[in-house]
């Protein structure tokens, strides 16, 4: 399987090289050259299978010829043995016809663990095979960083540098990152917003001298290795509800568009998905884009779902590529518009194609709090604020008899202050994180200055 860049100027790569590259050399994102298909019979066979087996069935279609079957199986067994629930990603019915897919049973309590536990092991394997070390950089609004640090800590093949926006994560999220004191882990608190962190990471990838010097690699969802692992739970959840004989819809709390793009991939591979619903918080650039056909940056406001306080939604580029019939020139024009004038109009055919697969809605701050309170009152189920954004939007969708699955992307204990304010209940951290508030922290505060950040990394990278 080859992977091509959404900007059309970088060479096509195999799975291992695409994973190590993270971002393509032309600034684009890698997507598979074609979508492998999963037959109806095979989808039906996923119901009741162990999670790691379904993961193998899906992921091996992209790694064939590169990662030996036995190695991939052992990576997946090990990755999902770190989850505290036997089903890995359990599905439960919140109200008739509306399900939540709990993706937060991994080591850091957010959906990022599902991909990161796989990615760290597969990268380690590739680097060991090649006798190389890599420098990993990542931008986080809190969850990617903690999952990546947990997955890569102590690994000899990698140094990991995570940039988070200073003061804009929850305290639990920050401590999950800064209390990891392994030598290969480096936390940077950037004076800025999440988009500044993400811009800095992309600028490092586009600085080819720096990129080569430290053998740069990335763990944000720009990396195909993240997306491929997230496709799996769309299949397990749909199969559990009777797919392929019954269609399902998904509502996904969305920021960088990685999680919901994985749903699009599942559909492209043959999973009968009726609708993919983009759920945004008050930072609603994606909902406005679906409404108006124009992607327009207007600024980011901090919310109680901070991991979605994003306006440069990286993976939307992958959807633009798909919706434009894989026309890289069209993508380049749109991305140039974004750089020059902070916005662009989608071609008519693109927005029409997107609207065929996707719907979108917003749950604002007050409504998010109300969803948490009302859901707890009705069913004693505590939602984290990101999942609540999803549940709020899912409830506003037309009822067409198709089961709706909302992705529960984080455990409420990651956001105790917001959850307690909304519901009166302070969710407790699981036992293994019980002493998080007593652990010492290590973090470096840096100004939002590209040179400063790159110098910091060069001085500490062992690659």
Ligand X SMILES: N[C@@H](CCOP(=O)(O)O)C(=O)O
Footprint of ligand PLP (CB under 6 A): 110, 143, 221, 253-260, 307-308, 386, 409-410
Residue 140, contacted partner among ligand PLP, ligand X, none, CB below 5-8 A by kind: ligand X
Residue 423, contacted partner among ligand X, ligand PLP, none, CB below 5-8 A by kind: none
Nearer to ligand PLP, 243 or 281 (CB): 281
Phi and psi at residue 422, to the nearest 5°: -80, -35
Q: What is the number of other CB atoms lying within 10 angstroms of the CB of residue 331?
A: 24
Token output for 237: 């959840």
- Residue 263 binds ligand X, judged by CB under 6 A: no
* Nearby residues of 351 by Cβ (< 8 Å), 6 or more positions away: 290, 293, 323
What residues from 276 to 295 belong to the interface with ligand X (CB under 6 A)?
Answer: none
Strands 158-165 and 185-190: parallel
- Residue 416 binds ligand X, judged by CB under 6 A: no
Q: 47 and 39 in contact (C-beta within 8 Å)?
A: no
- Residue 140 binds ligand X, judged by CB under 6 A: yes
For residue 378, what are the β-bridge partners? none
Q: C-beta of 71: minimal distance to ligand X in Å?
A: 25
CA 282 – CA 261 distance, rounded (Å): 20
CA 116 – CA 119 distance, rounded (Å): 5
Catalytic annotation, pick one of 49, 71, 73, 112 = 112
Residue 257, contacted partner among ligand X, ligand PLP, none, CB below 5-8 A by kind: ligand PLP
Nearer to ligand X, 32 or 145 (CB): 145
Q: C-beta of 409: minimal distance to ligand X in Å?
A: 9
- Residue 143 binds ligand X, judged by CB under 6 A: yes
CA 249 from centroid of its chain's CA atoms: 19
Q: Is 112 an active-site residue?
A: yes
- Residue 254 binds ligand X, judged by CB under 6 A: no
Binding mask of the shown chain, residues 309 to 348, with x at each position contacting ligand X by CB under 6 A: -----x----------------------------------
Nearer to ligand PLP, 147 or 269 (CB): 147
Residue span binding ligand X (CB under 6 A) among the ranges 100-108, 120-128, 185-193, 254-262: 254-262
Q: Which of 52, 54, 28, 37 lies closest to 1 in space, CA to CA?
A: 37
Give the largest Cα separation in the chain, rounded. 58
Q: In the set 170, 187, 256, 283, which binds ligand X (CB under 6 A)?
A: 256
CA distances from 292 to 218, 231, 332, 412 (A): 32, 28, 21, 33
* Order of all β-strands in the sheet with 185-190: 216-218, 134-139, 158-165, 185-190, 444-446
Q: C-beta of 307: minimal distance to ligand X in Å?
A: 4
Q: Which of 108, 193, 201 lies closest to 148 in space, CA to CA?
A: 108
Q: In the set 22, 28, 32, 145, which binds ligand X (CB under 6 A)?
A: 145
- Residue 106 binds ligand X, judged by CB under 6 A: no
Nearer to ligand PLP, 118 or 210 (CB): 118
DSSP 37-94: ---HHHHHHTTT--HHHHHHHHHHHHHTTTS-HHHHHHHHHHHHHT-SSTTSS-EEEE
- Residue 255 binds ligand X, judged by CB under 6 A: yes
Residue 176, contacted partner among ligand PLP, ligand X, none, CB below 5-8 A by kind: none
Q: In the set 142, 225, 361, 412, which binds ligand X (CB under 6 A)?
A: 142
DSSP 202-262: HHHHH-HHHHHHTTEEE-STTSHHHHHHHHHHHHHHHHHTTTTTS-EEEEEE-SSSHHHHH
Helix 258-268, helix 224-240: angle, nearest 10: 60
Q: What is the number of other CB atoms lying within 10 angstroms of the CB of residue 113?
A: 27
Residue span binding ligand X (CB under 6 A) among the ranges 234-242, 250-258, 355-363, 394-402: 250-258
Residue 253, contacted partner among ligand PLP, ligand X, none, CB below 5-8 A by kind: ligand PLP
Nearer to ligand X, 236 or 409 (CB): 409
H or E stretch at 175:
helix 171-178
Nearer to ligand PLP, 308 or 418 (CB): 308
Nearer to ligand X, 43 or 419 (CB): 419
Nearer to ligand X, 124 or 317 (CB): 317
Residue 145, contacted partner among ligand X, ligand PLP, none, CB below 5-8 A by kind: ligand X
Active site residues: 112
Interacting residues with ligand X (CB under 6 A): 140-145, 220-221, 255-256, 258, 307, 314
């Amino acid at each position: 399987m080859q992977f091509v860049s959404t900007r059309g100027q970088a060479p096509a790569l195999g799975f291992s090289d695409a994973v190590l590259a993270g971002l393509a050399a032309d600034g684009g994102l890698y997507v598979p050259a074609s979508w492998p298909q999963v037959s109806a019979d095979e989808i039906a066979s996923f119901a009741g299978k162990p999670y790691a087996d379904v993961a193998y069935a899906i992921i091996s279609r992209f790694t064939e010829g590169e990662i030996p079957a036995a190695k991939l199986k052992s990576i997946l067994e090990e990755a999902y043995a770190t989850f505290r629930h036997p089903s890995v990603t359990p599905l439960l019915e919140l109200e008739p016809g509306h399900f939540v897919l709990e993706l937060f049973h991994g080591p850091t309590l957010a959906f990022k663990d599902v991909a990161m536990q796989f990615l760290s092991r597969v990268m380690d394997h590739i680097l060991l095979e090649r006798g190389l070390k890599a420098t990993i950089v990542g931008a986080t609004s809190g969850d990617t960083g903690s999952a990546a640090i947990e997955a890569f800590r102590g690994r000899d093949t990698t140094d990991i540098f995570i940039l988070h926006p200073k003061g804009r994560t929850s305290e639990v999220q920050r401590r999950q990152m800064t209390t990891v004191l392994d030598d290969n882990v480096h936390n940077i608190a950037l004076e800025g917003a999440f988009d500044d962190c993400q811009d800095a990471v992309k600028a490092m990838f586009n600085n080819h001298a720096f990129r080569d010097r430290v053998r740069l690699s990335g763990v944000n969802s720009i990396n195909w290795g993240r997306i491929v692992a997230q496709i799996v739970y769309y299949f397990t959840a749909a199969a559990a509800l009777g797919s392929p004989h019954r269609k399902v819809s998904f509502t996904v709390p969305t920021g960088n568009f990685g999680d919901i793009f994985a749903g699009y991939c599942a559909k492209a591979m043959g999973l009968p998905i009726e609708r993919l619903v983009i759920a945004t918080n008050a930072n609603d650039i994606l909902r406005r884009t679906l409404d108006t056909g124009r992607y327009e940056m207007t600024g980011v406001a901090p919310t109680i779902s901070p991991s979605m306080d994003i306006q440069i939604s990286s993976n939307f580029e992958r959807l633009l590529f798909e919706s434009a019939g894989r026309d890289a020139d069209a993508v380049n024009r749109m991305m140039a518009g974004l750089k020059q004038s902070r916005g662009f109009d989608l071609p008519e055919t693109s927005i029409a194609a997107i609207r065929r697969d996707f719907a979108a809605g917003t749950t604002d701050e007050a409504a998010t709090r109300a969803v948490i309170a009302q859901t707890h009152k009705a069913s004693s189920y505590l939602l984290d604020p990101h999942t609540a954004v999803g549940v709020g939007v899912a409830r506003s969708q037309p009822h067409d008899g198709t089961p709706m699955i909302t992705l529960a992307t984080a455990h409420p204990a990651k956001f105790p202050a917001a959850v307690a304010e909304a519901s009166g209940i302070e969710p407790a951290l699981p036992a293994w994180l019980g002493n998080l508030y007593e652990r010492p922290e290590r973090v470096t505060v840096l100004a939002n200055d590209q040179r400063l950040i790159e110098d910091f990394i060069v001085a500490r990278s062992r690659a």
